[in-house]
Structure 1
Amino acid sequence: MSLPRSNYDPRRVCLAPFPSWSLGKHKRTMGIYLAGGLFALANWTFLDAAILSAHAHAPYDDPQIPPPVHVSFVDWVPGISSLLGLLIINLIDKDRVRGDEGFGDARAVWRARLILFIGFALMAGGLAGSVTVLVLKYVLKEYAEQYQYYGYANVSQNVALMLSAVVLWISQSVSGEYEYNLSI
């Protein structure tokens, strides 16, 4: 498939350009707050599981049996990976990824896109790692539901971090209430 010569731009990577959304006067601010709320919810969920694991005690009917599993460093690694991915994704200048506003250097646009890909790869790796930890550490060993919660909290943390990154990316990419797009 080829584009008409008038629509062809050699700097473009994708055929479909980024959409330009206008969400209204305060919707950009609400999107940023929603992303922050998802970020807080993600980390609160996992910290709840970690604190619950640290204070887990033996069953009341048999005090000689210790809890079978605790949250360890392996459980923290996927969340750290997703958090680094979120930071990398949101530190990228959106205009540089698009190649707009005088960023004529093709290498700078390519590097920005590569770093953006690395950020998304870290987030995808964090999600895959959390699902792997859930299955291998909690589900296959058939622990009680109260111990499987540690794995579910890990997966939900990574999903919420990914959603937070997407919402923040979209919220920061829309035109703000004080921005004007003038064209001749």
Structure 2
Amino acid sequence: MADLSNHRLFRFPKPQWLNSANTRTAGVYFAGALFSIALFVLIDAATFSKSHLNGSDFHMNGVDWIPAIFSALGMLIINMIDKSRLSADSFSYSGDGVAWKARVVLFLGFAAMAGGLAGSVTVLVLKYVVQEAAWPALWFGVANVVANALVMLSSVVLWVSQNMEDDYTYNLAL
């Protein structure tokens, strides 16, 4: 039986290549690429909906942009929080209750992103599916859902990659 006395959560250790500075940098770049693809998909659908090639009565307007705004705000809120603030106890940060404040703000960020994704699905269903839009016009709602899902995935990748620990970071807590 393996020695599990070092209080690990899982039986198998984390691979060492996940703790490198190059992996962290690649994760940040990948998150940026996901966010830019999401923005491209949304802007592409919006410009196509206003062009003369769109032969339908369906167009993207402000209602279609509201879920993306909420998702982007949620991503901004989530990635502004330092992971070490979430596990702060009464000894660190002077016991001012930083941990529960950070958790509340993190919850609000996730709620904003989940609301953005749910809002985009709602817009897709109510504006395009119920009104029986044909495929080129249905893409406007699908693009909204895809863009919000990519923003959410980008936020997860950025959160994980920014909060990786490697051997070269210094822990100043004594």
TM range (shorter): 0.7 to 0.9
Give SS of 2:19's match.
Answer: coil
Structure 2 CA distance, aligned partners of 1:81 and 1:141? Answer: 25
Give identity over the alignment, percent: 48
Moved over 6 A (4+): none
Change (3 A) 1:77 1:24: same
2:88 counterpart residue number:
99
1:80 counterpart residue number:
69
Residue 177 of structure 1: how far off its partner (Å): 5.8
- For residues 133-178 of structure 1, the C-alpha deviation after alignment (integer angstroms, 9 at most, x for no partner) is 0000001111110000000000001100000000000001111463
Residue 181 of structure 1: how far off its partner (Å): 5.0
- If you compute each CA radius of gyration, which structure gives the higher value, 1 or 2? 1
Q: TM-score, normalised by structure 2?
A: 0.83
1:109 counterpart residue number:
99
**Structure 1 gap ranges (5+):** 1-6, 8-15, 60-66
Give SS of 1:70's match.
Answer: coil
Structure 1 CA distance, aligned partners of 2:27 and 2:95? Answer: 31
Change (3 A) 1:38 1:142: same
Structure 2 CA distance, aligned partners of 1:58 and 1:45? Answer: 16
Supply the AA of the counterpart residue of 2:69: I
Q: Does residue 69 of structure 2 align to residue 69 of structure 1?
A: no
**Structure 2 gap ranges (5+):** 1-6
- Indicate the RMSD between aligned Cα atoms, in angstroms: 2.4
Residue 98 of structure 1: how far off its partner (Å): 1.8
Aligned length: 160
Supply the AA of the counterpart residue of 1:28: R
- For residues 118-141 of structure 1, the C-alpha deviation after alignment (integer angstroms, 9 at most, x for no partner) is 000000000000000000000111
